């Protein structure tokens, strides 16, 4: 099966182990997909952060990415798989957007902005070659992977409007049987749900209340026990505090969110701050640069 013939979402698409498919190797450790920033820069503007971005220091971005990579691998104890970077695709580094991964299935992103659509077949091919079943959204439905759909406990918090169509949410449920909680993103600076909300282990949830309307906040508060909620201030949200990586009891995030760091430590998490300032220029941080695949 080639990526061009990958299963479209439908009522009968699911086949967990097609003939000839090699299941993805699982070591028992968490596994993260990353993409080296070989071609990373800010060469177009598809979000407000990019529109305001000063020139990108590409050598510094490489060093910052390597620090994040080593932190995940050595300090958080996860495995890291690498997607090969491609010239002309600077945002391929943001692997969180590549797909929504559930068990051995990868629902591949279908990007709203044409600048990113060439990433789609590359990611579909990677997932297929590594034993996942790649699944494509219909052509008319935009969906930006784990940037806009995050599993919390037994359900999915999913954002829509800015980059992802709400029509994708019912298709996610059809594919996974997971209930999807749809929340409109009302602030263009928080264009994906993963820049304003982060599920943690044991049911904790980091979120920026200002990124959601009254209904969205009510959805969060109705599903997450108050003692598990960790709100962040607008100032720390603007430093991408919510765009964190959680591996076991370790949380990795961009530096400069002291209150959130204190809140997390009080709840028993180990916190590692890294400098990801160059990636903030493109509107991304630690979570955007990673995708949990196992």
280 CB-near residues (< 8 Å, 6+ apart): 49, 239, 240, 254
Q: Name the catalytic one among 192, 196, 204, 242.
A: 192
DSSP string, 135-147: EEPPTT--B-GGG
Count Cβ atoms below 10 Å from residue 185 Cβ, excluding itself.
24
Q: Determine the Cα–Cα distance for residues 230 and 199; give it in Å rounded to an integer.
A: 10
288 is catalytic: yes
**Could you tell me if 238 and 195 are in contact, meaning their C-beta atoms sit under 8 angstroms apart?**
no
Q: Name the catalytic one among 123, 198, 242, 288.
A: 288
Q: Determine the Cα–Cα distance for residues 277 and 283; give it in Å rounded to an integer.
A: 10
Q: What is the DSSP secondary structure assignment for residue 185, as one 8-state letter?
A: B
DSSP E strand stretches across the chain: 7-8, 31-34, 79-82, 99-102, 105-108, 133-136, 149-152, 155-160, 180-184, 197-199, 205-207, 229-231, 245-247, 250-254, 270-274, 291-292
110 is catalytic: no
Which residues carry out catalysis? 192, 288
């Amino acid at each position: 099966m080639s990526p061009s013939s990958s299963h479209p979402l439908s009522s009968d698409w699911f086949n967990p182990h097609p003939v000839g498919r090699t299941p993805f190797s699982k070591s028992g450790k968490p596994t993260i997909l990353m993409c080296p920033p070989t071609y990373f820069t800010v060469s177009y503007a598809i979000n407000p952060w990019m529109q305001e971005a000063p020139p990108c220091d590409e050598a510094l971005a490489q060093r910052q990415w390597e620090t994040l990579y080593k932190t995940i691998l050595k300090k958080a104890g996860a495995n890291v798989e690498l997607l090969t970077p491609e010239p002309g695709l600077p945002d391929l580094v943001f692997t969180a957007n590549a797909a929504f991964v559930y068990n051995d299935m990868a629902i591949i992103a279908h990007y709203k902005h044409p600048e990113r659509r060439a990433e789609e077949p590359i990611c579909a091919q990677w997932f297929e070659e590594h034993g996942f079943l790649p699944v494509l959204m219909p052509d008319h439905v935009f969906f930006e992977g784990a940037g806009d759909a995050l599993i919390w406990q037994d359900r999915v918090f999913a954002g829509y409007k800015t980059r992802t169509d709400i029509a994708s949410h019912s298709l996610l449920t059809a594919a996974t049987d997971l209930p999807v909680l749809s929340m409109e993103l009302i602030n263009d600076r928080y264009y994906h749900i993963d820049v304003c909300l982060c599920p943690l282990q044991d049911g904790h949830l980091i979120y920026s209340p200002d990124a959601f309307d009254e209904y969205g906040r009510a959805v969060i508060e109705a599903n997450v026990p108050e003692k598990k909620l960790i709100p962040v201030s607008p100032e720390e949200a603007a430093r991408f505090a919510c765009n964190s990586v959680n591996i076991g009891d370790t949380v990795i995030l961009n530096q400069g969110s002291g209150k959130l760091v204190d809140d997390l430590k009080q709840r028993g998490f180990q916190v590692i701050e890294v400098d990801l300032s160059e990636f903030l220029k493109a509107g991304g941080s630690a979570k955007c640069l990673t995708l949990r695949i196992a």
